[in-house]
Structure 1
C-alpha cells in the first residue's frame, strides 16, 4: 500500500484538518475572552504556541495509534481485519463539519472585532503603495518650479499649485494626493518612479511658472511613473489676471482627467469651472491664509484671519474666503479660547458665504465644524461633513473632518475607514497616522496603535501633537509613567493637553515638587478651555492634598470652591466647572456636595463617545476623595468595561484613589482588570 493510501486509511489527513479547524476556532474564542478581560498580549502568544506545537503531536498520534472499541491501541497491535478506521473517519468528518460551521459563524458575525475586512482596526499601515494602488487613475502634482529669485514669485507658484490640487480634488474618478504630502518633494533629487511609489500613485504632474510683467507663462506635463512616458504636456501664455489663472487650472484639470480616462460628472464640471475671485490681490491674501491655517498656532491663526479679512475687503463676494475665515475663527474657538463672540463671528462668515455661493463644498466643511467645534453637536455636523466628502472626494480635509465627527459619535468602523482614506490621500503627513494611532489606543488595540505611531514617527518625528499621543500610548498600553512624563514634556510650547498631562505625570510619579512647579508654570489662558475650568488655587490645593499636606491644601481648596461656585451660579450647565467642583468638594471631604457635583458633571458632560470614559474617570476621582468608594468603583468598572477609554494604569497611579486601595472591591477590580505580567 502506498504511503498516501496508508495516511488516508489511518485518518491522518482527517486528524490534521480537524485539528487545524478546531485550533483556529479555539484561538478565536480565547482571543475574544482575553480581549474582554484586558489580558496582556503574551497570553495569546502562549496559546498560539501551544496550538502550533500540538499539531505535529496530533498527526504523529493519528499515525501511530488507533481508537478501537477497547480503547486506544498502537496501530501495529490492531488486526487489520477488525480495524474500525472507516467508522472513526466518519465520526471525524462530522466533527470537522461542526467546527467548520463554528468557523463560518465567527467569520460572518464578528468581522470588525476579529480584524477581518479592509476597515478593521487591526489593519496596519503600509509604507508604500500596493501594486493595485499603482494602477489606479491616480496622480500627484509636484510643487511647481519658478524661474525667479523674487520671493513673491515663489509664493505665487505655491498658490497656483494649491489651486490646481483643489480643482483636481473635485474629480471623484481620480485619486489625487494632497498638497501637504507633495510639498516635501520641492527641489527633490528623487526620481519620478521613487516619488510615485512613496505616494502610491501611477502618474506625476510636473510644472513651472514664470512671471514677466503682466504676463504669465505656465507649463505642465503628466508623466507615467512606470514608463516615464509623457501622457500630456502643454504650455500656457496668458495675461496675468485672476480669471486667467482659474481658467488655466480648469483646463489642466480637464486635460489630466482626459489623459487618465477619468469621467467628469456635470456637477464636477460646474465646480471646476467656478472661479473663486476676479481680484488677483484678494487671491494672494487668501492663499497666504490657506498656508497659515495648517500651522494651527494662536499667532498664525490671528495672522491668517487678518489676511483673509484683507481678501474680503478687496472682494466681499469671495465665498471661499468667507469659508476660510469661519474655519480660522472656529480653530481659535476650539483650541485656544472659549469666547462665544468668536463662534458667533464664524457663523456670520458662513452665512455671508452661503449668500454668495450656497453650494460651495468648503462652506459645508466650515458649517460641519461650526456644529462640531462650536456646540459639540455631532448629529448636526455629520451631514455637512458627508456632503463635503462627497463633493470633494480627494480632499483629505473633508474625509478627516468626517472621521473626527464619527469618532465623537462612537462609529469606530466608520471613523477608521475615513481616517485611513484621509491618510491615503495625504500619505506623507505623519500626524494623519498619529490620529489613527490615537483612535486605536483608546479602543485598546495597543499593538496596532504602536505600529501606526511608528509609521507616523518615520514620517515626522518632531510633530508636537504626536508627543501627546506617544505619552498616552506609553501610559495606557503598559503603564509606563516615566515615558508618559517624558513625552508630555517634549511638547515645545504649552497647550491645554500637554499642560494637564505634565501635572498628571508628576502626580503619577509621586513627584509633588515638580507637580507644584507645573501648576506655577501653567499659562493663565489654559486654565479655562473647552474641556477644563480650573484655578491655580485648586491645582495647588489638590497637589498639596495628594502630597499629604492637608493643612496647606484646605484653604486653597476652599478658595477655589468659592470662586467656581460663583461662576456655576451663572453657568449651571457648564461641565468643566461641575467637574472641578466634584474634585474640590471631594478633596474637602464634603461627601454630599461631592456626590451632587459629580452627578452633575456626568449629567452636563458632552455626549461624546470618544471621551465618555474620561468623564467617568474624573467623576470617580472626586467620589473616591470624598470617601464614596462604592460609587467611585462603579464608575471605574463602567469605564473599564466600555469599548473606548482609559486602561487600568491611570487608576493604579492616580493619588485620588489612594484612600480606597485597601477596600475589597478595589482589590477585586485590580484582580480582574489589572496587569498580569510578573
Structure 2
C-alpha cells in the first residue's frame, strides 16, 4: 500500500492496475507537475539481484526519447522497499479502452499503427525489444499522439515467470510463437504483436482467441487467423497483406525491420489520397467549412488540368495516341503474398522494358498505380491518361512456377491487338519480359532497332534471390523520396549485390541511392560514409555494366549530388535518355539539371514531356512551375503550381512555388498572404520551401519579427543564415553575428564530410561575408563560378552587398539582368537586402530595365 506522500510525490488518485503493477496519478512537488507513478509487484524486486536487474532495464528504457514512447523520469523506492517508476502523465485513454467501443476507422487504424511502429523503430535502433505490445500498453492522448508504455518490464516478468490468472491471459493472445515457446526473441516478436493489435483495431476481435490459455497457444502455433476482409468490408487488400505478413508463424517471413512496415502503411495512406479518400486524424474533427475548401480544391483541380492541357496543346502538335501505352497494374490471381509481390514486380519490369523502345511512350508507374482494383472502364482510364493503347494482365506465382496473362487493347475499338498466356518456371521471368516487349512492338507495327533488341533481351542477373532483393529496393526507391526510404532502398540494392557481385543494375541503383542521401542526411559525418559507398558502387557498376542506361544515370546522380558538376551530369543523363528515351524519371532529372544551368526553355520542354508520361505525378508540374518562372512566364508558373496544390494539398511544395510566382513574379503581396493562410490550413509535410517563402514574404514586407517567427520550426542548416539576415536588417548586430557564427560551424562541418559541395561553399562564403571576413568569403566562393549554377546568382549579389562592395554588386546585377536571369523586377523592388544599392543611379536604371 502507498501513503499519501511517497518521496516528493503527492498521490492524487489511483489510475489502474494489472499484472505489471499499480499506477497512480501524482504531483511532483519539487517541479510542480503532474506525473504517473507505477509501483511494481514485489516479485519483480524480491532480492538484490532482481532489483538491480529492474534498475538496469528501467535505466535502458529511460534512455528512449521519442514522441511515441512514454518518458521515464525517475526510479525510486519507498521506505518499505517497494520500487516505483515516475513517468509522464497524459490525458486520454488506452487503446484497450478505445477498442471496447468497437472497431476503429481505417484511417485511425493506419495512423495509430504508424505511430506505434515509429516508437518501436526507435527502440529497436537502440537494441531494445518491448516484448509486450498490446492495447493495454498503448496510450492515446487527447492530442492524438500514441505513447507506448512499459518498455523493459515484460522482459523482467518473463525472467521471473510471473503468471497470474487473468493478468497473463490477455498478454498470451499477443505473443509471437517463438515468445510463447520461450525461445530467444528479437525485434520481430514486436512486429508480430503489432500485427495482432492492428487486427484487433480493424475487427474488434483477436486473431487467436479463447477463454483458455492453452487453446490460444494452440491457435498461435497451428492455425491461421480469419482474414480481416471476411470480417469487415472495405479493408484494403494491401492492409490485410501487411497484417498477415506481420503474423507469419516463421519470423523469417515477417518484416525484418519495422521501418519496412512503416513504409507499407504510409503507402496505403498515399493510395487513399490519390483515390480521393479524405484522410482524417483520429482526434481531428473537421469543421463543416472544410467541405467548402475540399470542394473548391476539386473544382480547381479539374479546371487547372484543362488549363495546362490547353497550354501544352497550344505549344505542340497533338501526339499519336496509339504509341502512348498505359501498363495497368497486374492483378494477382490468388491474392497471396507471393502473388501480390510478384504482380507488383513484373508490372514494374514490363514498364522498364517497354520504355527502352524509342517509338513507344510509356506512362509512368506512378500515374497508373492508382488503377489497381479500379472499377473504371478501359476507355475511362485511357481518356484520363491520354493513351490509345492499354496493356492489362494477371499473374500467379506458386513456388517456382508462374503464370502471366496479358492483353494489349486498342482503346478506340476495344479489341485485342495481341494476347498471350505464359506458364513458365520463375527462372524464365526475363525471357517472358523480353518476349512480351517484342510482341507488343510487333502488334503496334514498330520495328526494333538492334540496340533496342539487345537491351531488351539482356538478362540483368542469373540469381533470382538477388533479383527479388533488387525489386524490393526498386520499390522503396520509387515510393520514398526522403532519407529513410532511400536508405532502405540502398540497403536492399546492397543485399542484391552481395548475392550477385556482377549485378550491374543493382550496383547502379545502389550508387544513385547513396548519392541522393548525401544531401538528405541529417548527419554531416554520415555524408562522408555515403559518398564512399556511392563512389564504390558506381565503380562496380562501371566495371560490370558500362553500357547500361542506368549506369550513366548513376554517374549523373554522382556528378550532381556529390561533385556539383552540372555539365558532366547533363552529359550522362542525355546518354541514358538516348538509350531509354521514354523514362519519365530520367526526363524529370534532366529538366532539373538544365534548369539549374539556366536553360529554362529546355527545362520547360522536358517538364512537358515528363507530365505527358506521368500525368498523375508531381514531377512535371513542379518543373513546369520552376522553368516557367525562369522564362518570366509567371502566370504559367502559377497554373503549374495549382496542379501540384490540387493533386496533393497536404504538401507544401506546390504552395511554395505558387507564392514565388505570385509575390516574386507578379508583386502581389496581399494575394500571396492569402495563399499562405490557405496553405497553413492544409499543409502537413514537405514544408521546407513553404517556410522559406514565408520568411522571404515577411522580409519583403519588412516584418522582420515575422520572418524570425516563420523560422521557429525550421531545422535546416540555412536557418542560422536566415536568422542572421533578419537580425542584421533589424540592426541587432549582436544576434546577427551570433547566428552567422552558428551557420559557420554547421557549414564547416558539412564541408568536412563533402569538400566538393559547391552549395556549402557558397553558403559558407556568405556567412564569412556576414562576419566581415572578406578574405575567407572570397576564398570559399572561388571554388564556384557565376556560371556554375544559376541558382547561385542572387547569392553572389548578396555576398558583395554584405562585403559593402557596391560597385561589384552592381556589375553582377547588371550581368544578371542582361542575361534574363531569375531575378525579377519585384524582387529588386521589394527585397530589403538590396537597400544599400538603392541610392545608386546605376541601380535605379537597372530597376527600370528589369521592369521592361
Whether the 8 Å contact between 1:582 and 1:601 is mirrored in structure 2 is yes
Q: CA deviation at 1:266?
A: 2.1
Aligned to 1:433: 621
So what's the TM-score if we normalise by structure 2? 0.57
Aligned to 2:505: 320
Q: CA deviation at 1:379?
A: 2.7
Whole-Å separation in 2 of the counterparts to 1:270 and 1:571: 39
> Any idea what SS the aligned residue of 1:271 has?
helix
Out of 381, 387, 394, the residue aligned to residue 569 of structure 2 is: 381
> Any idea what SS the aligned residue of 2:402 has?
strand
Out of 231, 247, 266, the residue aligned to residue 417 of structure 2 is: 231
* Residue correspondence of structure 1 range 47-446 to structure 2 within 5 A: 124-126=311-313, 132-134=319-321, 136-239=322-425, 241=426, 243-294=427-478, 295-336=480-521, 339-446=527-634
Whether the 8 Å contact between 1:292 and 1:300 is mirrored in structure 2 is yes
CA distances 1:136-191 after superposition (whole Å, capped 9, x unpaired): 43322111111234344322211110001111111223222221221122222222
Gap regions ≥5 residues in structure 2: 1-307
* Residue correspondence of structure 1 range 529-568 to structure 2 within 5 A: 534=718, 536=720, 538-554=721-737, 557=740
The answer to whether the aligner puts 1:450 opposite 2:629 as a matched pair is: no
> Any idea what SS the aligned residue of 1:143 has?
coil
> Any idea what SS the aligned residue of 2:406 has?
strand
The answer to whether the aligner puts 1:624 opposite 2:827 as a matched pair is: no
- Larger relative CO (CA 8 A, sep 6+): 1 or 2? 1
In structure 2, relative to structure 1, the CA distance for the partners of 1:404 and 1:210 (3 Å cut) is same
> Any idea what SS the aligned residue of 1:316 has?
coil
The answer to whether the aligner puts 1:655 opposite 2:832 as a matched pair is: yes
Q: CA deviation at 1:571?
A: 9.9
So what's the TM-score if we normalise by structure 1? 0.70
Whether the 8 Å contact between 1:437 and 1:452 is mirrored in structure 2 is yes
* Residue correspondence of structure 1 range 630-641 to structure 2 within 5 A: 630-641=807-818
Gap regions ≥5 residues in structure 1: 1-120, 528-533
Whole-Å separation in 1 of the counterparts to 2:347 and 2:803: 60
> Any idea what SS the aligned residue of 1:604 has?
coil
> Any idea what SS the aligned residue of 1:231 has?
strand
Larger helix percent: 1
> Any idea what SS the aligned residue of 1:221 has?
strand
In structure 2, relative to structure 1, the CA distance for the partners of 1:564 and 1:430 (3 Å cut) is closer
Aligned to 2:784: 605
Whole-Å separation in 2 of the counterparts to 1:148 and 1:601: 61
The answer to whether the aligner puts 1:522 opposite 2:699 as a matched pair is: no
Whether the 8 Å contact between 1:470 and 1:487 is mirrored in structure 2 is no
Q: CA deviation at 1:209?
A: 1.1
In structure 2, relative to structure 1, the CA distance for the partners of 1:258 and 1:607 (3 Å cut) is farther
Whole-Å separation in 2 of the counterparts to 1:553 and 1:275: 59
The answer to whether the aligner puts 1:507 opposite 2:714 as a matched pair is: no
CA distances 1:232-264 after superposition (whole Å, capped 9, x unpaired): 11112223x2x3221221121122111111112
Whole-Å separation in 1 of the counterparts to 2:665 and 2:474: 37
> Any idea what SS the aligned residue of 1:375 has?
coil
> Any idea what SS the aligned residue of 1:216 has?
strand
Q: CA deviation at 1:317?
A: 2.6
Q: CA deviation at 1:555?
A: 5.4
> Any idea what SS the aligned residue of 2:808 has?
helix
Q: CA deviation at 1:436?
A: 1.8
What is the CA RMSD across the aligned residues, in angstroms?
A: 3.6
The answer to whether the aligner puts 1:475 opposite 2:652 as a matched pair is: no
Q: CA deviation at 1:599?
A: 4.9
Whether the 8 Å contact between 1:400 and 1:418 is mirrored in structure 2 is yes
> Any idea what SS the aligned residue of 2:312 has?
coil
Whether the 8 Å contact between 1:429 and 1:460 is mirrored in structure 2 is no
In structure 2, relative to structure 1, the CA distance for the partners of 1:669 and 1:601 (3 Å cut) is farther
Of residues 461-470 and 254-263 in structure 1, the stretch that sits farther from structure 2 once superposed is 461-470
Whether the 8 Å contact between 1:192 and 1:225 is mirrored in structure 2 is yes
In structure 2, relative to structure 1, the CA distance for the partners of 1:417 and 1:123 (3 Å cut) is farther
Whole-Å separation in 1 of the counterparts to 2:359 and 2:711: 53
* Residue correspondence of structure 1 range 564-575 to structure 2 within 5 A: none
In structure 2, relative to structure 1, the CA distance for the partners of 1:631 and 1:408 (3 Å cut) is same
In structure 2, relative to structure 1, the CA distance for the partners of 1:573 and 1:318 (3 Å cut) is closer
> Any idea what SS the aligned residue of 1:125 has?
helix
Whole-Å separation in 1 of the counterparts to 2:433 and 2:757: 49
CA distances 1:486-530 after superposition (whole Å, capped 9, x unpaired): 58867644676455444333333333334334445332xx31xxx
In structure 2, relative to structure 1, the CA distance for the partners of 1:414 and 1:498 (3 Å cut) is same
Whole-Å separation in 1 of the counterparts to 2:752 and 2:536: 30
Whole-Å separation in 2 of the counterparts to 1:130 and 1:193: 23
Whole-Å separation in 1 of the counterparts to 2:539 and 2:462: 21
CA distances 1:264-315 after superposition (whole Å, capped 9, x unpaired): 2222222222222233332222122112213210111111112222222222
In structure 2, relative to structure 1, the CA distance for the partners of 1:553 and 1:263 (3 Å cut) is closer
Whole-Å separation in 1 of the counterparts to 2:824 and 2:581: 36
Of residues 492-501 and 404-413 in structure 1, the stretch that sits farther from structure 2 once superposed is 492-501
In structure 2, relative to structure 1, the CA distance for the partners of 1:565 and 1:167 (3 Å cut) is closer
